[in-house]
Amino acid sequence: MLIPYLIAWVVLIGLLGLSIFTAYLPLGHFHPLANFGIAVVQAAIVLAIFMRLKDPPAIKWVFAGAGFFWLLFLFGIGVIDYLTRAGFPS
C-alpha cells in the first residue's frame, strides 16, 4: 500500500540531488529557472500523490486550482510594473 508513496519519495530525493547538482553548474541566468523548475516538478509530485489530488473527488481540483489561478494574477499583474518601468533598479 505504501509502494507508490515510496517511489514518489525516491523520485523527490533524486530531484533534490539534481537541484544540489545544478548549484555547481555554470548556468548563469538559468540558475533560478532550473531550481524553480525542479521545485515545480517536486511540488506537483507532492500535490498529486501525498496530497492525493489524483484521487476522487475531482472537485478538489477546483479548490486547489483556485489558489494557483489567483497566483497567476498576482505574478502577472505584479510583474507588469517591473517589466515596463524604465531603469529598474534605480
User: Contact positions toward another protein, by CB under 8 A?
Assistant: 1-2, 5-6, 9, 12-13, 16, 19-20, 22-27, 29, 31-32, 35-36, 38-39, 42-43, 46-47, 50-51, 57, 59-60, 63-64, 66-68, 70-71, 74-75, 78-79, 82, 88-89
For residue 88, CA distances in Å to 2, 51, 74, 82, 84 come to 50, 40, 19, 7, 9
Smallest distance, another protein to C-beta of residue 32, A: 6
Report d(CA 71, CA 56) in Å as an integer: 24
Smallest distance, another protein to C-beta of residue 86, A: 13
Q: Pull the grid cell for residue 32.
A: 533560478
